[in-house]
Structure formats: structure tokens, C-alpha cells
Structure 1
Amino acid sequence: MIDNTFMLKELLGVGGSSKVYSAVAEDGNEYALKIIRKDKGYSNETAMRLVTNEMKVMEKLGSHPNLVNGISCNPSGTAMLADGFHEIRYLVLEKCKNGSLSTIIRQTGPLEEELAKFLFFQLCSATQYIHDRNYAHLDIKLENVLLDDFFNIKLADLGTAVNVEDSLGFTNKRRGTLLYMAPELAKINKKEMVDATIADVYSLGVCLHLLLTGEFPCEETFNNEMSSFETEISGNTDPNDTSKC
């Protein structure tokens, strides 16, 4: 039981910084609870900042039919488990009952072109909406593209989003998932600036390729080029430095 309000039902997904569970509230409504992972070694301050920052981004962006709705957040919640009470940090989100496009592709393979076009248009609409409000998502991937009751897409996970208004669209923050990441962003250093909105467009292209083929573009070449680099950065990541992916 979470804060005497939410009963966890099942694990929906695991991300780099959080786990997402299906939960039922006292009123019987179902939600998705995004709970910050304790095994990642975040300090209390960092864990609180992760949930409050993502909630602030969702509030600033407002409502769009193809974005997951944020309901609330609790940076100092309490979970009652078998071994006692535990402090947790979490977000309450709209639950998308039909899973992710990543799961669909794994189960069924590539989509028919017309269906892929329909879903991709919705994904582009959500991305354009984010860009028009001076943000870049920076982790667009099929795992973050959810499907609602009517199989319309809902782009999720704004925890990596950055405001690029003051930098004219550019960022020096390396965030996201390598196989979806623009090469210039993957290899960025803090002295460089990359157009964050263009990086999102690259990720959109990877998503479209996956929808139509079921495969990543140039995956073998990419893995060969990035394997040593990925090993290097994963071994030098401070869990409390939220400027990194």
C-alpha cells in the first residue's frame, strides 16, 4: 500500500531510474505509479528532484492527446511493505492499458505501412507540441510510446526533457538511449552544444524504421562504434548527476 491510497498490482516496466507499476486507488480508478529506484544509489535530494522536475515539465507542457497525463507527484511518500514502512518518491500518471509499441513490435513484427503512418503521425504531433513549447524530449523510443484504450499513442517519460528556450534549441546534456540517440549527442562533451530538437527528430526516424522493419537501422555498425564508448561512460557515471543519461 502506498500512502494508504494506492494498491500496487503489477510491474509494467523498468527504466534507467525508475520502475512503473499498475496501481488501484481508493476510488477504484487505475493509474501508473512511477517509483524512483532505490538500487540506483540516488541521494534523497536527487530522488526528490527527479520526480518534482518531471512533474513540473508535464505541468508546463499542459495537455495534448498524444502525451501521457501527469496526475500528481509525491517526493516523500510512504510504502507499507511486508518488512515495514519505506520512504519512496513517485509520480502518479495516466495508465495506458495496451502497453508500448516496443512490445507490439516484439510480439507481431513490423506493422503495415498505413498503420505505421497513422501511429507515427501521432508521435510526430506530440514531439512537435513539445518543441513548440521550448522543450526537447531526448528519450523518444518505442518503449516510451504507449497505447491507450483506443490504441492511440501516448508519449511518456519526460524525465529526460530539457528546456532549450534560453539556448536557442541547443543542449550539452547527453541523455537518452544509445540505439535511438543521434550520433552527435551520443559523443557529446560538455564543451559542445547539440541541437536537441534535431536529436529528437533522429530518434523519430529510428522509431519509424523499427515500425516498418522491426529492426534498428545499422545496428551492427552502431554497436561496433559505440561499444567501447558505452563501457567507458557507464563506468564513470555518478548516480546523483542528473545531467547524464
Structure 2
Amino acid sequence: MDDAAVLERKGYSLSATLGEGSYGKVKSAYCNKLKCNVAVKIIDKRKTPRDFLERFLPREIAALKRLHHPSIIKTYEIFETSNGKVYIIMELGVKGDLLDYIKITGAMKEDFARLKFQQLASAIKHCHDSDLAHRDLKCENILLDKDLNVKLSDFGFSKPLSRDENGRTILSKTFCGSAAYAAPEVLQGIPCDPKISDIWSLGVILYTMVYALMPFDDSNVRKMIYIQKQHRIPFPKSKYLTTECKDLIYHLLQPDVSQRLCIDEVLKHSWLQTPKSQIPTSPSAAETGECSQNLHDKKPEHKQEAKTHPAEHEGQKENGSS
């Protein structure tokens, strides 16, 4: 039985393909029960490697079932057929992903960026409070609904956190995700708390929202790590940002993991509170070097909805236990 027939029996009318990967595809469909369009992620287990089936797919499904938050993509139904196909019915990000939105509209004004970042940070707090790290935070994995509300998606790399006998988080040794958004400790293969590494990725996302640029050029990863470890963040003079916004970016993109903010500290930061008028300030010594990268210079990636297998993500490297 083909996909359309399987879904028809479940009350879904299949339509356009949103994206396609090595091990599956994502299509849009109309749900007769919900009276709205949804996204249908279809994974053919017969065509997927064992590593994906044993680790990544179960983690993604478990995360989708476990997480319920207004700023996390909603999962309506998950079912599997006898021929080994898994169907994940999810909320549709009708306005596409954040990267495409920024490419079209340009850098966000701070007040608007504050609202979107607040939604995203709130979603990450929900994950972290549930002892789950996302591990692949980037603009392509943030969908927008019809009202431009943030909907965090793609939990293929997510990982439930384990603790040792002293209650401390067991460190991760796996590099996953995209180099441009990955924390320097991840890129260097240093065992790390993936929740803290998520915070760095939030910094890259916020920078991209307000500048419509990437903060670091990942065409030379070794050079990029060198710049990151010096805590050199380019704040282009072409756009004025408040002191608070730059301060938050500076503390999110903190190379010293012991000094990097946790998600609760992020949400309490002054920039995310009531906006205040600011007087422009001179760049600090840390604001050196124009090493940011235009979004349109980035290599094209799969559409967010097309992500059907973690191994398709740019820059994945297994360095040990995941």
C-alpha cells in the first residue's frame, strides 16, 4: 500500500513534498479531523542504517512524545506500518524556517528579535528542565507558524541526559550538528555538557537574527575555533544594537564553558526584560574583527522539513559514545 493510501485510511489527504533525504521524506497533508494542513515525516526503516534505527530514530520519537510546549513543534500522531514505514504527523510551519525568513526580510529589529528569542529560549528551558539537550540548534531547525511564532523542530540529535552517582551530568563526546552553530568544545571533541553547548548555539542564532549574518566564517574551522577561543565577536558598525543585546550575545558566545550562561540565566538577562532606550556605545576590546559571514554565502542545506536522518546534518563526526 502506498503512502497516500495508508494516510487516507488515517484521515489524511497527502499533497506536496516539502523535502526529501536519504532515508525518508516530508510531505504536507490535510487532516480531516484537525481541519488543517500538517507535516508528515515518512521514514522507511528498510532503507536506513542500523545506527539510525537503534539510536537516533528512537530518541527523536521519544523526544516528540515527551515534549509539550507552545514553542516546540507539536506532534499529533506517530504510527508504523507492517512494511516498516514510520509516519510522524506534526504541526506544519507554514511560514517556513527562520533562516529563509531572515534571508527574505533581513535583520530583525531588536523588539521583534526579543520576542522570537524569548520563545526559543523558553522552548530550550523546557527541554533542559526535562533533562534533554537538543544538540542541533540552528536557524534551519526553527519553524515559524502563520503568526510568526517560533516552533522548535528536528530532534534527531536530541539526547536524554544521564547522571553519575553524584548527580552530575555525564558528558557527551559526540560532535553532531553544523559546524557554524557548534560550540568550540564540541568542534574540538572535548567531552562536554550538551546543555551548555546548546547555549552557544543560541548565541549564534541570536546574532544571526539581529545582523542577518553568521558571527563566524566556518569555511576554515581551525581558524574559526581560534577566533572563538579568543572571545572575538564581530559587532558590525553598520547596525546599531543596544548594549544589553550585545552583552547577551557576548555571554552566550563565551568559549569558557564554566562562564557560559545556563538557560535560566539567559531568560533573566536584562535584554529579555522590559526594553529600555539605550545610548550608543563604543565597541569594547572584545568586539574586534569582521569575521562574520553573509547568510547567502552559506552552502545550501536541506530544508528544515526535509531533515529525515541525523547523518545528513553538516559536519557530523562520531568521536565516541553519543
1:34 equivalent in structure 2: 41
Matched residue count: 221
CA contact (8 A) 2:113 2:210 kept: yes
Question: Of the candidates 134, 137, 144, which is equivalent to residue 137 of structure 1?
Answer: 134
SS of residue matched to 1:171: coil
Question: Deviations along 1:21-41, whole A, 9 cap, x unmatched?
Answer: 2112344532111223789x5
Question: Deviations along 1:53-93, whole A, 9 cap, x unmatched?
Answer: 312112223x1111111122234376xxxxxxxx5333111
- Using the aligned pairs only, state the percent identity: 30
TM-score of the aligned structures, taking structure 1 as reference length: 0.77
Please tell me whether residue 76 in structure 1 is matched to residue 81 in structure 2.
Answer: yes
1:127 equivalent in structure 2: 124
SS of residue matched to 2:13: strand
| 4+ long deviations beyond 6 Å | 234-238
* Displacement of 1:16: 7.7
2:71 equivalent in structure 1: 66
For the residues of structure 2 that align with 1:16 and 1:213, how far apart are their CA atoms?
33
CA contact (8 A) 2:179 2:221 kept: no
Please tell me whether residue 9 in structure 1 is matched to residue 25 in structure 2.
Answer: no
SS of residue matched to 2:112: helix
1:197 equivalent in structure 2: 195
2:25 equivalent in structure 1: 19
CA contact (8 A) 1:12 1:22 kept: yes
Question: Deviations along 1:180-204, whole A, 9 cap, x unmatched?
Answer: 111211231xxx5211011100000
Structure 1 unpaired stretches of 5+: 79-86, 228-233
* Rg larger for: 2
* Displacement of 1:157: 0.9
Give 1:25's aligned amino acid.
Answer: C
Whose strand proportion is higher, 1 or 2?
1
Please tell me whether residue 165 in structure 1 is matched to residue 162 in structure 2.
Answer: yes
SS of residue matched to 1:89: strand
Shift of the 104–15 alpha-carbon distance from structure 1 to 2, 3 Å rule, reads: farther
For the residues of structure 2 that align with 1:140 and 1:109, how far apart are their CA atoms?
20
CA contact (8 A) 1:74 1:89 kept: yes
CA RMSD between the two structures: 3.2
* Displacement of 1:136: 0.4
Give 2:221's aligned amino acid.
Answer: E
* Displacement of 1:150: 2.0
Q: Which has the higher contact order (CA 8 A, sep 6+)?
A: 2
Shift of the 209–237 alpha-carbon distance from structure 1 to 2, 3 Å rule, reads: closer
* Displacement of 1:45: 8.0
2:186 equivalent in structure 1: 185
